[in-house]
Each structure stands twice: as structure tokens, then as C-alpha cells.
Structure 1
Amino acid sequence: MSVRPRSGVQIPALTAQVARASNLRGTTAMWVRDRLDGSWRDEDFEAWYPRDGRPGLSPAQLATVCVLQFLLNLSGRQAAEAVRCRIDFTYALALELDDPGFHHSVLGDFRDRLAKDDRADQLLDLALERLKAAGLVKARGRQRTDSTHILAAARELTRLELVLDAVRAAVEELARTAPELLDGLVTAEWGERYGRPVRMRSQPSQPSQPSQPSHPVTRLTQAGTDAADLLTRVQQHRPGRALGPQLEALRQIMVQQFVVDARGRLRPCREKDGQPPAGLQVCSPYDLQARFVLRGNTRWTGYLAQAPTT
């Protein structure tokens, strides 16, 4: 497949007339065409394709479709259907009204080419340069793209599950690195409490596990006491030494989830104690960077990936 550059493509008169008549105020797709026309040209993509072969679809048009797909939150099938059926897409791509469009798999092929090497960065830099030339980006200004979400490779845990799993992970870490510190502390009761991964919610394969634990506050307090004893033992025998990753996770979880009351007793934090916001709390003892995030109607445990500013 090769590229046959098309320079200076104009919107067909009938397409423009119908689009304007049916969308008096314009649409996002029409705005993209009117304000950003020329952000990409077919010549910019010639290095992506071989010199010979049958002519392919206009890569500049496909890049525009990808932008509209992102702006309007469309799937590949929906974007391809919009090219065939929506007059504002026909307008944005400068197509004739009877243009048959293309199969949605073409967009996947185009993105595969875009993902190679540093083509995406080069295309973004090119678009920014032309946006500056069009006066849409001010000199020495800062333009920010919206952040996207990345799911953490960890289960969503209840508060009790989080503390129990953190203690279990810390004990396993010490059993590998300094087993002598567990002598006299870890008993058979600890083995019953932390001897296996914590799963509070019932599953078809494990019907014996209750969906709701009995006496959750008591179990949480007991886990907090065990965690405090474990951390105290480590600090007494290894003063000044950095904690391992699981012990550090346990320490942070204890700071966030427990307080010592006026009588000197350890207890779980309550709302009036001023817990840190959910976005700052550790969500998994295995990933201290993962956080609970809420954006509109979307919630997840993981990260926000922010594109660089320009």
C-alpha cells in the first residue's frame, strides 16, 4: 500500500451546503475542519508507507478520524459508521456526499503504523507547530491534554482485607529476609489469621467463606494490634534500617487506618478522626502508588497518566 498525496483538498460545494444547512451552529467535527484544516497533510505520512503498491486511503483523513473518535468517545466501528452516515464527518473529511467510507479495520491498521518508533510524538509536534501558526496556541503558553486512567494490577480491597493482607505480606517478607525476628511473635493463631490470602467475599468455588465477616471491627482492631507489634519488633531489632517494601506498605497503612486514643489504645480510624482523602490512601500493600480515583461517573483503582505540557 502506498500514499498518493492530495494537496489543497477543498470541501465539495454540495457537501458544504448540506452540512451548513443541517447544522446551523456547526458541530465538533465541523469545527475541527474549519479551525484545524491543514494540521496534517498526506505528505507528512509518506515515510510510513512503501513507495509502490496500490494507493491507500488518505492518512491525513484517517488521522482526523482518529482525533474525532477520541473527542466523541466512539469505537472504531462507530467512527467508521459516522464517516458513512454523518454529514458533519463528511464535511470534516472533505468527502463527496456519496462517498462509501471505509471498513473500521482500516483505523486499527493506521494506529498500528502510528505506534511504531516515535511517530506519535512526531505527529503531535507537527500538529502543535501548525496550531501555533494558526494562533490557537499562544507563545510561551501551556497547553494541557486531559489525563487518562490506568488500572492497577491489584484487587479492590475492603478496609479489613487491606489490613489483613498487608500484615500477611509483611510476615511473608520477614520470613524470607529475617526469620529470626518472628521468633516468639508469630504463633499458631497468627497462622490461622494470616496463613492464606484474604478473601472476604463469597465465591462459587468457596461457598464456606462468608460474604461479610463476623465482628469486622474486632477483627480489624486485632489485625492493627498485630501489625503494631510486628513493626515494633522490627524497629527494636533493626533500628535505623530501611524497611522492606511490604513492611513500609504496612507502616503507611497503619498511619492511615489507625489512631491511638486518649487512653493509649489502638483503634481503627473513624470519620471524625480525619482520615486522609480516598485519593491519598494506600489501596494495595503490593502497589503503594495505586490510588482510588473518581472522574465523573468513572471510578477505578490505579493511576492517572498525564500527558506532558507544551
Structure 2
Amino acid sequence: MRFNRFVVLPLALLALGALPACSNDDDNDDDDNNPDSGVSADAGTGADSGTGADSGTYTFPDAGADPGVSPTATCPTGSLICEAFDKGTNGWSSSSDRATADVVGGRLHILTADGVDESKAPVGQDWDAIVRWEKRIPAFSTQLFVRAHVYLQSLPAIFGQMGTFFVLTNLNDDFGGIELQVISDTGFALDDWSFRDGQGWNRQGPPVGLGMAAGKWVCLEWEVRRDSASSIHGSTKVYRDGALAHEFPKIGMRNFDRFIVGYGFVHPQGKSASEAWIDNVAVSSTARIGCQ
């Protein structure tokens, strides 16, 4: 179980990067075909590299090669969230721990610091290396579908370091959450801290068939279902580039009302440097979104 600052600190978020004709939230009806040009949505304040009293010695990696133009995608009809990262923060809140985030060329660019090791944290403190972007959504009923294009320069360097992409949470009376992650063997993982029977950490494989890839744009889809709005268990599926990668059964469910997207590690183990780009984020309660 990952009961940590990813959810128990004040959660905040940001705006993401570039989806042609896809940002339709928050009563903002600017031209979606006008991409963001150089407007920074930095979420890394206070995460400068160096020696920090709260986090030991850490440095940020140099940015790798630009991944090039991200895939194009459309906005699903009736979407709860569809973010092109061309409208500033657009209703997102942002937070980061030992990480930075900027909107660059209409895409969210994330760097996490190297040398962050949670084992060295004083008792009662959490040392993360992560960026979080959050929006409220209607309380989860029976189905939810998420789509994003993701580019990782590399996979997590250590098996016990899980890179988190998406989180669904409820921080009110129905407290709990689930997270979609990736681990070093390319497999996906599902961290279930819903506090339902059977909750915990679940992984794909071994062996891993279709997993996450680094060094290329990947269409990542996450499907969450339960039989009724009162069911306390359900299942989730993860798709890579349109194909089913893995299904996680008997996952604890709550009335999730917050969606978080970002990247980084809530349990860093020293080799915590990473670089990620995220684009074309969409959330729907109607039907699977697809990659286009």
C-alpha cells in the first residue's frame, strides 16, 4: 500500500501539454488549434538541485533529446477532462516534490531529481520525487476511461521504484485511491490503497507480455469499472497503443472524485532521475477513448 504524500498532503495540479482541438473544460472557449508557445506552467518551485535540509543531496538530470511532435488526438464527446495544454493552467492545480514541470511546445515536460532516497528520510517524513496535476471530477459511478500519450526517456532504474502516471482518489469521507504505475521490467502495476478487502500492490507478470516502452511515444489508456455505484470492488485494465496489456481484478473502489496525472516516484531509492513528456490527456465516463 502506498499511503503517502501523493494523497495526504494538500493535492494540487497543473496544466498539461498539447492536444489538437481537445481542451474544452472550464468555460474556456479559446481556439483549441492555437498551440501554447512557450508559456511555462512550472510546478517545480522549491525543488532546486543541490543539498537540501529536507532531502539530502540530489541533482536534476540534463534534459534528453526532444521527443519530437507528439501524436495527434481528438476530444471525446462529453469528456470530463480533455487537456491540450494550450490554455495555461486551465483549472488544474499543481504540486511537486524534488521535481520540475513545464509546459513546453504544448506538452508537459517533467524532470525528477537524482539521489532522492526515502530510506534516508527522518522518521515521519516522506521523500518523493514526483509531479502531480489534479482536477476534480464527478464522483465515480461504474466506469471511467483515461487516455494520454506518454514519452519516457527511460524506465524506472530500480525494481522497487514505481513510476506513477495516473491516480484516482477520494480525500473526503470515502477516503481511498488507486494508482497506475510502471516498474523496471516494463510491466504495469496497480497500487490499491482503497482500504477494501484484498487491497495492496499488484503487478503485471512476470512474465510481462505487452508492457510500457521507453524512448518512444506510447498511447496509454486506463479503464476502471465496477458493477454498480455501490460496489466496493471492481477491475481495471491498461492498454498500450490500443492493445490490452493487463487486467487487474478485485481492485477496491471508492467514489473517486479527483483525477491526478503526472510522473515520478513516491518511493525513490536513490536512482530517482527521470524525464517524461505527457500530452493529449482525456477522461471520460461514457466510453473507451482510444488513441486518436
TM-score by length of 1: 0.21
Question: Which protein has the bigger helix share?
Answer: 1
Larger Rg: 1
TM-score by length of 2: 0.22
Larger relative CO (CA 8 A, sep 6+): 1 or 2?
A: 2
